[in-house]
Amino acid sequence: MNIPTDLQYLSSHEWLRLEGDTATVGITDFAQDQLGDVVYVELPTVGQMVVAGNTVAVVESVKTASDIYSPVTGKVLEVNSSLTDNTEWVNESPFDKGWLFKVAVEDLSSELMDADEYQKVAEAEA
Amino acid sequence: MTAHTELKRTPLYEKHRSSKARMVEFGGWDMPVQYQGLIAEHLAVRQAVGVFDVSHMGQFIFTGPDALTFLQFATSNSLAKLPIGRAQYNMLPNSSGGLVDDIYIYHLESEKYLMVVNASNIDKDFTHLKNLLISKELPEPFKVALENKSDDYALLAVQGPHTRAVLDPFCSVDLNAVKKNDVLPATLFDLEVLLACTGYTGEDGFEIFCTPEQAPIIWDHLLEQNITPCGLGSRDTLRLEAGFPLYGHEFSETLNPLETHMAWAIKMHKSFFGKEALVSLEIKHKLIGLKLGGKGIPREGYEVYCGGKKVGYISSGTMSPSLKCGIAMAFVEKDVAILGSSLQIKIREQMFDARVVEPVFLEK
């Protein structure tokens, strides 16, 4: 299970990469593995306000639809629209090509954890 | 996964664990939902050959001079013309117009039948059948022995267009002479098994009834032939594409089976337990197929609309790995069940157009 140490995580299996005032959000390697083949991604719209803890996107595998919670409050700057035709990137490259959206950070979720803490969460669910 | 009660394990449990299958609870059983991936497994069965462990399913044996008479009474389809060595799809109606289960019956020998039932219904079905045996509706007691042999059988389903070619060199019978719904004893990989040309994927294939001890040996032989191990995830998408209903979704104790495209398995020319209740029910809904043109994946429970009015709900839905679009079975008011017309599926507060089709999605 790949859990990069430079990212922050939610127990609901989203990751957040902070670069200056911009946060990039995706789902973890553990999450994509649990979901199975991703076949549909519903992303927020650019300019939309998202609130930490709220549902902002949906990732669907063949079997199930999974709500994605925002780990950050702020305005959506960019979404990974390439995923529409390349949903498998969420499986193949969850921390890189499979990112979901970027937000101009106003506030971060108080429930974010580091890689060590997240590893315990994921292992407990495995 | 929370394991409040001890989950049951098939004789292949250790095989699944050692091949890193993702395990899930299904009907009280700890079962593999997928091995390397649902879509790959699905396509292996459509294009080549895959194997499913379906040992969780139940097996009842009926023996005795009245076995046929009793089964004719207990089931909706007619076994009158089912010869030895043949199998058929059938149903167990309840007393109120619903189904106790949908089943498969194999005519093994003179006065001997095998019934295969859904895993989650084994105890319920067996109790129901035993109660029917002593039912006051019968003129005299039936001379039939009913045995629950579920623990004595393991069951492997080898499915896909290459099944015959792959298995034939290892089988004592000429598989190319076996027809759909045939059942016969055979030697496979030097083991005595019962072989049936049945399955629930819409593909050619065989189901292998064997002992719990034989199952892991046969499983290893099958995988050595590069047959893809498949989990219940792809079994569900395959059966849905093929238009096969699943108990708990399209059938239940309260859903009316006459509203489905499987009503052909209810024979009104014979009498059977529960027939009067079935006949008296008004048909209000129809089970239809829905096919989405663009994005959106229909899921069980989603509502179906016609011109802004709710007309039904989805009983099974998925993204079809073969057709690469959303497909679903849905119960809708019968007036709007018009082939070729458009209905709307509500997916997360948004309406998606879907075309009404027969609830069979694969063109064979």
Query: Quick check: A65 and B38 CB within 8 A?
Result: no
User: Is A124 inside any structural domain?
Assistant: no
Q: How far is CA A71 from CA A41, A56, B200, in A?
A: 18, 10, 43
Mean pLDDT of B284-303: 95
- The per-residue pLDDT for B141 is 79
- Asked if the model's pLDDT at residue B4 lies above 70, the reply is no
Core vs surface per residue B197-219: b (16+ CB within 10 A) or e: bbbbbbbbbbbbbbeeebbeebb
Q: Residue A5: inside a domain, yes or no?
A: no
- Give residue-wise pLDDT tens across range B316-337: 999 999 999 999 999 999 999 9
- As a whole number, the mean pLDDT across chain B is 95
Computed over every residue of chain A, the mean pLDDT equals: 96
Question: What is the Cα Rg of chain B in Å?
Answer: 21
Phi, psi (rounded to 5 degrees) for B243: 85, 25
| CB distance B237 to B316 below 8 Å | no
Strand order in the sheet with A38-42: A38-42, A55-61, A65-69
Could you report the per-residue pLDDT of A27-64, keeping only the tens digit for each? 999 999 999 999 999 999 999 999 999 999 999 999 89
* % of chain B surpassing 70 pLDDT: 97
Contacts of A45 in chain B (CB under 8 A): none
pLDDT band for position B136 (cuts 50, 70, 90): low
Strand partners, B345: B304, B352
Q: Which domain holds residue A55?
A: 10-119
pLDDT digits (tens, 9 = 90+) for B20-51: 899 999 989 999 999 999 999 999 999 999 99
Residues of chain B found within 8 Å of residue A60, distances taken between Cβ atoms = 297, 319
Q: What's the confidence (pLDDT) of residue B346?
A: 97
Strand partners, B193: B186
Q: What is the pLDDT of residues B300-320, one digit of tens each?
A: 999 999 999 999 999 999 999
Convert A11-39 to b/e letters by CB count within 10 Å (16 or more is b). Answer: bbbbbbbbeeeebbbbbbbbbbebbbbbb
Q: Which among B34, B297, B299 has the least Cβ separation from residue A36? A: B34
User: Model's pTM, two decimal places?
Assistant: 0.92
DSSP-H helix ranges across chain B: 13-18, 38-47, 67-74, 122-133, 163-167, 214-224, 232-242, 275-280
Domains in chain A, number: 1
H helices of B49-146, where?
67-74, 122-133
Residue ranges of domains in chain B, CATH in brackets: 13-55+153-241 (3.30.1360.120), 58-151 (3.30.70.1400), 284-357 (2.40.30.110)
Output phi, psi for B352, to 5 deg: -120, 130
- Residues B226-249, buried b or exposed e (16+ Cβ, 10 A)? ebbbbbbbbbbbbbbbbbbbbbbb
Task: Give the pLDDT band of residue B134 (cuts 50, 70, 90).
Answer: confident
Which residues of A fall below an 8 Å CB-CB distance to B? 34, 36-37, 39-40, 42, 58, 60-65
The mean pLDDT value for B124-148 works out to 88
Cα–Cα dist B261/A103, whole Å? 49
Is residue A1 one of the residues assigned to a domain?
no
- B179 close to B172: Cβ distance less than 8 angstroms: no
Residue B56: closest CA among B157, B205, B129, B128:
B157
ipTM (interface pTM): 0.83
pLDDT tops 50 at residue A120? yes
CATH of residue A73's domain is 2.40.50.100
Examine residue A61 and state whether it is found in any structural domain, yes or no.
yes
CB–CB of A62 and B233 under 8 A? Answer: yes
Percent of chain B clearing pLDDT 90 (strictly above): 92
Q: Would you call B348 and A36 a contact, using CB atoms and an 8 Å cutoff?
A: no
CB-based contact B64:B142 (threshold 8 Å): yes
The pLDDT value given to residue B340: 97
State the burial class of residue B64 (Cβ atoms within 10 Å of its Cβ: 0-12, 13-18, 19+): middle
- Closest to A88 measured CA to CA, from B21, B321, B361: B321
Q: pLDDT of B230-264, one tens digit each?
A: 999 999 999 999 999 999 999 999 999 999 999 99
Q: Which residue of A has its CA nearest to B299?
A: A64
B2, pLDDT greater than 80: no
Q: Residue B363: pLDDT above 90?
A: no
Q: B38, A40: Cβ pair inside 8 Å?
A: no
The residue with tokens 């199975």 is A36
Q: What angle do CA B319, B17, B41 make, to 5 degrees?
A: 30
Arithmetic mean of pLDDT, A98-105: 98
Binned at pLDDT 50, 70 and 90, residue B137 comes out as low
pLDDT in tens, B145-191: 999 999 999 999 999 999 999 999 999 999 999 999 999 999 999 99
CB contact under 8 A, A63 and B33: yes
Give the confidence band of A81 by pLDDT, cuts at 50, 70, 90. Answer: very high
pLDDT tier for residue B1 given thresholds of 50, 70 and 90: very low
